[in-house]
Amino acid sequence: MPPASTAQDIPQRNSNSHADDLARIVSSSFGAQEAGTSPTASFHSYPNSYGAGQRPSTKQLKPFHTKDIKVLLLENVNLTGQAILRDQGYQVEALKTSLPEDQLIEKISDVHVIGLRSKTQLTASVLKHAKNLIVIGCFCIGTNQVDLKYAAENGICVFNSPFSNSRSVAELMIGEIIALARQIGDRNNELHRGVWNKVSNGCWEVRGKTLGIVGYGHVGSQLSVLAEAMGMKVIYYDVVNLMGLGTTAQVQSLDELLQQADFVTLHVPELPETMDMLSTHQFAQMKKGSYLINASRGSVVDIPALIKASQDGILAGAALDVYPNEPGGNGEHFHNDLNSWTQELRDLKNVILTPHIGGSTEEAQSAIGVEVAHALVKYVNLGTTSGAVNMPEVTLRSLTMDEPNHVRVIYIHRNVPGVLRKVNEILGDHNVDKQMTDSRGDVAYLMADISNVNTSEIKDLYQSLEDLGSRIRTRVLY
Ligand SMILES: NC(=O)C1=CN([C@@H]2O[C@H](COP(=O)(O)OP(=O)(O)OC[C@H]3O[C@@H](n4cnc5c(N)ncnc54)[C@H](O)[C@@H]3O)[C@@H](O)[C@H]2O)C=CC1
Ligand SMILES: O=C(O)C(=O)COP(=O)(O)O
């Protein structure tokens, strides 16, 4: 059963609230929407805001309601996530594939929210066209496809789902370990072609064999439990010192792991340090007749070196789920135009090629849809950054109905001395009920709830914050 698709934990505010009054007055003052058209009873606590759609250089004020929020979802984001966003009244456009860069640039130019999976590349050169973007949702684990630093420095918060598909990947690894050990892929292909080829030569049980896990995080540790249950001995290598589950043991170097393991699986993130982590030197360390599985990122394995290791008999088999260049959507061809060695790889014996399906189960995708969509809604409506991967984590208790005439100020700014004093001089004209601030690298995030704010004061408040030299983005939610 897919999880419930409503954002029940996001507070509601009814139609005759302070927000209504403000919306009407502000709307008619700035002409962004017709007076009295919104909000409705289903509005969340901060249906309106200043500054959501603004890049640092833009001074124009654009009040909006949740109905004005534009969301672009790429790569077949699960219906659970789509439903949560639509329930908010946001305008949601959902596409099944990623987009080539030129189309992405065109589409991204006016959306407030973008959701994607592992394929879409949100580089600085794409993001600089996203004039209204306030938040990015990676409906997956990896965030290497997004320029996180550029996003933070431009006030764009990024969320992901850190472990909702980990179990799915771990289970696929178990399937592939056995499939490789028994050459199931090749036997299956042969029989599909009508060839009966009953062999035991080079086919093994996995019981008693050594599994070497590279990257002992969410996926690696889940996998270790499953592998031990099948009677495998498990060792792992990680840059962090970690307690092994069960009777697993950490080894001190990648070479040590490669020299001992019969099966090696890769579960590290894409980083400069993990680029070509398995290349000629590393294949030379591996036991003759061992197996390699890569379900991390295509950049982690030097594929020509893998092809050579396979041809030289070092590898008895391999399973790849990820590739340096992957097609943008289903039905597209996987051939040498994409990666020059594709045909050579396809021709190898006992090599299982899967189209990046490690996290592609009903359970994982529906859980990811719920998790990331909730994070997006909380960010858009409340400014909450809990779980963000590129911003400080800041949250405040939500306002309730008995706190009238409140506004929530969100001020993303460069992390330089003296900013808080200036911000608090501005906020100090009002009653600051609660405030939280935190920084991450060069970027700081301040959230404050202030009360007894007159409608006429909101614009000035917003503008005073905008005028500070340190500001990256100001949002005033009410
Ligand atoms: N094929 C697929 O569909 C999927 C692929 N992935 C990929 O798998 C990766 C791992 O996923 P999780 O286990 O959830 O991540 P995680 O962040 O929980 O674990 C990664 C581990 O790798 C370690 N690590 C980082 N750099 C390392 C290095 N140079 N050498 C050794 N260890 C290093 C970290 O310390 C951490 O323990 C993701 O970053 C993603 O790229 C994740 C989910 C699905
Ligand atoms: O979660 C990840 O990092 C994955 O690699 C899965 O990506 P996907 O959502 O299948 O594009």
Q: Does one domain contain both 189 and 335? A: yes
57, two tokens = 């250089």
- Helix or strand (DSSP H, E) at 412: strand 407-414
Q: Does one domain contain both 28 and 100? A: yes
Identify the domain boundary among 353, 378, 400: 353
Identify the domain boundary among 353, 376, 396: 353
Q: By C-alpha distance, which of 39, 40, 61 is closest to 48?
A: 39
Q: Does one domain contain both 115 and 137? A: yes
The answer to whether the CB of 11 is under 6 A from ligand 1 is no
Q: Does one domain contain both 72 and 110? A: yes
> Is residue 388 domain-resident?
yes
- CATH code, 194: 3.40.50.720
> Is residue 80 domain-resident?
yes
Q: Using DSSP, state whether 236 is helix, strand or coil.
A: strand
Q: Does one domain contain both 380 and 273? A: no
> Is residue 54 domain-resident?
yes
CA 283: distance to chain centroid?
A: 31
The answer to whether the CB of 161 is under 6 A from ligand 2 is no
32, two tokens = 């962004």
The conformation of residue 341, written as its DSSP 8-state character, comes to T
* CA-CA-CA-CA dihedral for 195, 197, 198, 200, to nearest 10: -150
Decide if 65 is catalytic. Answer: no
What is residue 452's predicted lDDT score, i.e. its pLDDT? 84
The answer to whether the CB of 267 is under 6 A from ligand 2 is no
β-sheet bridge partners, residue 291: 263, 317
Q: Which of 190, 228, 256, 326 is catalytic?
A: 326
What is residue 300's predicted lDDT score, i.e. its pLDDT? 98
Which positions ≥6 away from 372 have C-beta within 8 Å?
81, 115, 137, 138, 139, 159, 160, 161
213, two tokens = 């896990």
Q: Which of 65, 117, 297, 473 is catalytic?
A: 297
Output the pTM of the full model. 0.89
Q: Using DSSP, state whether 375 is helix, strand or coil.
A: helix
| CA 412 – CA 154 distance, rounded (Å) | 9
State the distance from the centre of ligand 2 to the C-alpha of 265, rounded, in angstroms.
17
The C-alpha angle 145, 149, 155, rounded to 5 degrees, equals 110
What is residue 127's predicted lDDT score, i.e. its pLDDT? 98
What is residue 12's predicted lDDT score, i.e. its pLDDT? 32
Q: Which long-range contacts (CB under 8 A, 24 or more apart) does 453-459 make?
A: 453/405, 453/406, 453/407, 453/478, 454/405, 455/21, 455/22, 455/25, 455/26, 457/430, 458/22, 458/26, 458/50, 458/407, 459/26, 459/29, 459/50, 459/61
Pocket test for ligand 1, best of 176, 219, 368, 372 (most atoms within 8 A of CB): 219
Work out how many domains the chain is built from and give that number: 2
Q: Which of 24, 167, 356, 406 is catalytic?
A: 356
443-451 and 407-414 beta bridge pairing: antiparallel
Q: Does one domain contain both 325 and 184? A: yes
pLDDT tens digits, one per residue of 420-475: 999 999 999 889 999 999 999 999 999 999 988 887 888 899 999 999 999 999 99
Q: Does one domain contain both 32 and 176? A: no
Decide if 408 is catalytic. Answer: no
> Is residue 278 domain-resident?
yes
Domain of residue 145 covers: 18-163+363-477
Decide if 413 is catalytic. Answer: no
The answer to whether the CB of 169 is under 6 A from ligand 1 is yes
Which-ligand-closest: CA of 294?
Answer: 1
> Is residue 2 domain-resident?
no
ipTM score assigned to the predicted complex: 0.99
Which positions ≥6 away from 269 have C-beta within 8 Å?
142, 144, 215, 296, 297
The conformation of residue 59, written as its DSSP 8-state character, comes to -
> Is residue 9 domain-resident?
no
274, two tokens = 């993990």
Q: Does one domain contain both 415 and 469? A: yes
CA 419: distance to chain centroid?
A: 30
Q: Does one domain contain both 153 and 186? A: no
Q: Does one domain contain both 151 and 287? A: no
Which positions ≥6 away from 425 have C-beta within 8 Å?
none
What is residue 192's predicted lDDT score, i.e. its pLDDT? 98
Which residues of the chain fall short of a pLDDT of 50? Answer: 1-45, 53-63
Name the residue with tokens 């908010």. Answer: 88
Structural contact between residues 387 and 164, judged by C-beta atoms closer than 8 angstroms: no
> Is residue 249 domain-resident?
yes
> Is residue 4 domain-resident?
no
Measured over the CA atoms of residue 135, residue 137, residue 143 and residue 144, the dihedral's sign is negative
| CA 262 – CA 416 distance, rounded (Å) | 52
Measured distance between the N- and C-terminal CA atoms of the chain, rounded to whole angstroms = 36
The answer to whether the CB of 167 is under 6 A from ligand 1 is no
The answer to whether the CB of 366 is under 6 A from ligand 1 is no
Identify the domain boundary among 305, 325, 353: 353
Which positions ≥6 away from 330 have C-beta within 8 Å?
96, 97
Q: Does one domain contain both 327 and 472? A: no
Q: Does one domain contain both 296 and 215? A: yes
Peptide bond into 304 cis (omega under 30): no
What is residue 19's predicted lDDT score, i.e. its pLDDT? 39
Q: Buried b vs exposed e over 213-234: b needs ≥16 C-beta within 10 Å?
A: bbbbbbbbbbbbebbbeeebbb
What is the crossing angle of helices 419-427 and 455-466, to 10°? 170
What is residue 30's predicted lDDT score, i.e. its pLDDT? 24
